[in-house]
Structure 1
Amino acid sequence: MILLIGGLGFIGSHVTRALVDLGRPCVLAQRRTGGVPDLLAGEIGGPVSVEQADVTDLKSLLAVGERHEITSIVYLAGAFGTDPADPVGGVRAGVDGLVNLFEAAVEWGVPRVGLASTIGVYDVTGDGPLREDMPLPMTAGHPIPAAKKVGELIGDHIGGAAGLEVLHYRIGAVWGPLGRPASRFFAVPQLVHRAVRGTVPALSGPGPAGAAPAGPAAYADDGMDTIYVKDCGRAIALLHTAERLGHRTYNVSGGRATTYREFATAITGVIPDAEIDLREGRDPNGLGRDVHLDISRLRQDTGYRHAYDTEAAVRDYVDWLRAGHER
C-alpha cells in the first residue's frame, strides 16, 4: 500500500483519489481523526484505510507498518518552523517528523519516498522557465520556501546515505476543490469564490471591518504558473506508480503562466454575470515578468498531460462549489 502523510488534506485527498483510480490501495496517516472529503467517502474501508499516527511519534508511525505493507510514501506535511510564536519548537517537530519518516522507510524497506516542495524555492532572476537543475540560493524570502529547501537537503542527504529513492515535487500555485477560499499568495481562489457566492472581499481594496484580508490584488496582465488540484494529484500519483524515474526532483505545475485576464475570461464564460475585480496592467511592485516551471521531466518520465485547461478547471470548480461544498 502507498502511505500518504496528509492524505485527507487539500492536495493529499486528490493524490489519494488519483492513486485509487490507478488501482493502487492507500493508507492515510493523520495526526487527528476528522471528516472524510466527499471525493473519498466511498473508498474508506475498501481501497483506502485511515490510521491515526503522528510522524513526530516514531512508535505510532512504525505501528502503521505493522498493520499494512507499505510500498511507497507520499509526505505532504506543511512547512515547519512557520509559527512565529514558537519557531524553534516548530523546526524541531518538523525535522523530527522527517527523520522519523525516513527511519520508518528504511525499516519497512520502502524504496521510494516523495516530499512536497514548492515553486517558492526558485528565488532566482532571469527569463525563461524554471528548471529543476537550476542552482538555488541558500537564502529565502519567506519561511515556507526556506523550510522546503531544508527538507530537500535533508531528503537528498538521507536518501543517498540510506539508498532510498527520495523525490521532491516542486509544486506551483494549486487551486480547486477542498482548497482555501482565499490565498495570500495568488488571487485565483478568491476570484472563483466571489463569482459563485459574492462573499469574498474585493481584491482592489481592503475588505469590510473585521473581515479576513482580501488577499493579493489581481492585475489583469500578471501571470502565474498554476495547476488545478486534480491535475496536481494525478501528477504526484504518477510519480509514485512509475516503474522507473530518471530524476529525483520534479516540477509539478501548469508549465505556463496564465494571466488573471485569462482566468477572468474563463470565469465569465461559466458565469456570464460574474463581477471580476481586476486592476489593469501589471502590479507596479511585482517582478514585471511572468514566471513558470518547466515540466518536461514530469511529462517525459510519467507520460503526464493536463486533464484540465483553464476553462475546464474553472467550470469543474464552479460545479463543485454550486453543489454545496464550502471549499
Structure 2
Amino acid sequence: MNDKKILITGGLGFIGSYIADELIDENEVLIIDNKSTGKVENLQNINHENLTLIEKDLNDADLDDILTDVDYVFHLAAMASVPLSIENPSECIENNMDATIKLINACKNNNVKKIIFSSSSSVYGDNTNIPLKESEYPLPKSPYAASKASGELFLKTYYEAYGLNYISLRYFNVFGPKQDKNSQYAAVIPNFITALLEGEQPIIYGDGEQTRDFIYIRDVVNANIKAAESDYNGIINVASGKKTTINELYKIISETLGSDIEPKYLPERKGDIKHSLADVNNMKKIDYKVNLNDFENQLKETINWFKTKL
C-alpha cells in the first residue's frame, strides 16, 4: 500500500501502533487515540514526517474534518476488556458501540474506500461448533463481545445500504513484543512471561485445559493490510487455526525461560470461554496464510522483548 491517506483509530495501542509503523514510510498516516490505554512510545518514530497524531476521543472528535480525503480506516479504538465491560457496560457501549457507529457514518459521508474493523473471536461465545466459522451465529457472553458483534452488523448494513466497503477481522488470541500485560489481547502470554521473569507464581484461571488459538502480531498486521487491499467485503477470522491449551502454553514458556515455578490455579473468570479455535479458510479471500511452524520462535521473540524491558 503506497501513497494513501490512512486513519488508524487507537493507533497508539498494541496492534494499532504496529500497523502505523508498517504503513508510515509510504503513506500519510493519521492516528486518533485518547491515550486511555495507548502509549506514544509504542510508535517507532513519533516525529515521522508522515504522521499526524490527534489526541482525542472518537466521540468528541470532528470526524468529518479528520476523514477529509482519507482512503482507508483501520478501526481499533475500543474498550478491549471482557472483565471491564462486565463491570462497566455503559462505558463499553459508549466507547465501542456509539463511537463505532459514529465513525462508520462518517466514513460513508466522506467516501472512504474501505474500513477495516478490529472485531474479536469473543463474538462466538461458547459455541461448540469448532473450528469456528464466520457463518456461525454470534453468541456473545459479555458487553465487549456484544459491542463487537454490533459493529460487524452495522458495517454489513452500511455496505448493503450505502456501498461502504468493509472487512471485519475477528482476532483470536493476539500476542507479541510491545504487548501490555494488562491488555486483554491474549494477556495470558505476557502475564506468564512477566511473572516468571520476576520469580512469581503465574495464575491460570480454571483447570488450564481450556484451549486458545494464538496469532502473532505481525500476522495480524499483514492481515489488516491484505484486507484493505482486497476486494472482499465481509467477516474474516484472523487466527492460526491451531489450538493450544493454557497448560501447554505454560509448559513452553516455562521451559524456554528455564523456570520450575508451578502455576497457581484459580476459579474460572466470568465471561471467559472454554474453547476457541478458528476455521481459517476464509483468509484465502484476502490472500493470506499463517505459517504454523513459527509459533515457538514467535514466543521466544516475545520472551526476549520482555527480558529487555524487565
Question: Which TM-score band (shorter chain)?
Answer: 0.7 to 0.9
- Counterpart of 1:19 in structure 2 is 23
Aligned match of 2:219 in 217, 231, 235? 231
CA shift in 2, pair 1:198/1:228, >3 Å: farther
- Counterpart of 2:128 in structure 1 is 126
Question: Quick one: which amino acid aligns to residue 197 of structure 2?
Answer: V
**Larger deviation: 223-232 or 269-278?**
269-278
Shift of residue 88, structure 1, vs aligned partner: 4.3
Shift of residue 119, structure 1, vs aligned partner: 0.7
Aligned match of 1:298 in 276, 280, 283? 283
- Counterpart of 2:10 in structure 1 is 6
Q: Distance in 2 between matches of 1:293 and 1:152?
A: 17
Aligned match of 1:264 in 250, 270, 277? 250
- Counterpart of 1:153 in structure 2 is 153
Contact conserved, 2:240 with 2:290, CA < 8 A, in 1?
Answer: no
Query: For residues 59-101 of structure 1, what are the alpha-carbon distances to aligned partners after superposition, in whole Å with 9 as ceiling and x for unaligned?
Result: 2x233235xx311001112249965776446535644322321
Question: Quick one: which amino acid aligns to residue 144 of structure 1?
Answer: Y
Question: Quick one: which amino acid aligns to residue 196 of structure 2?
Answer: A
- Counterpart of 1:311 in structure 2 is 296
Query: For residues 263-300 of structure 1, what are the alpha-carbon distances to aligned partners after superposition, in whole Å with 9 as ceiling and x for unaligned?
Result: 23432453223535277xxx8x9999743011121144
Q: Distance in 1 between matches of 2:206 and 2:128?
A: 24
Question: Quick one: which amino acid aligns to residue 305 of structure 2?
Answer: W
Q: Distance in 2 between matches of 1:13 and 1:321?
A: 17
CA shift in 2, pair 1:129/1:193, >3 Å: same
- Counterpart of 1:244 in structure 2 is 231
RMSD of aligned residue pairs (Cα, Å): 3.4
Instruction: Report which of the two structures shows the higher radius of gyration computed on alpha carbons.
Output: 1
Question: Quick one: which amino acid aligns to residue 152 of structure 1?
Answer: E
Aligned residues: 299
CA shift in 2, pair 1:83/1:263, >3 Å: closer
Q: Distance in 2 between matches of 1:260 and 1:111?
A: 40
Alignment of 1:153-172 (within 5 A): 153-172=153-172
Structure 2 length as normaliser, TM-score?
0.81
Paired-residue identity, %: 21
Runs of 4+ in 1 over 6 A off after TM superposition: 183-186, 285-289
Question: Quick one: which amino acid aligns to residue 8 of structure 1?
Answer: L
- Counterpart of 2:49 in structure 1 is 46
CA shift in 2, pair 1:196/1:313, >3 Å: farther
SS at match of 1:37: helix
SS at match of 1:309: helix
Question: Quick one: which amino acid aligns to residue 220 of structure 2?
Answer: C
CA shift in 2, pair 1:177/1:274, >3 Å: farther
Q: Distance in 1 between matches of 2:87 and 2:252?
A: 41
Question: Quick one: which amino acid aligns to residue 223 of structure 1?
Answer: T
* Structure 2: gaps (5+ residues): none
* Structure 1: gaps (5+ residues): 205-215
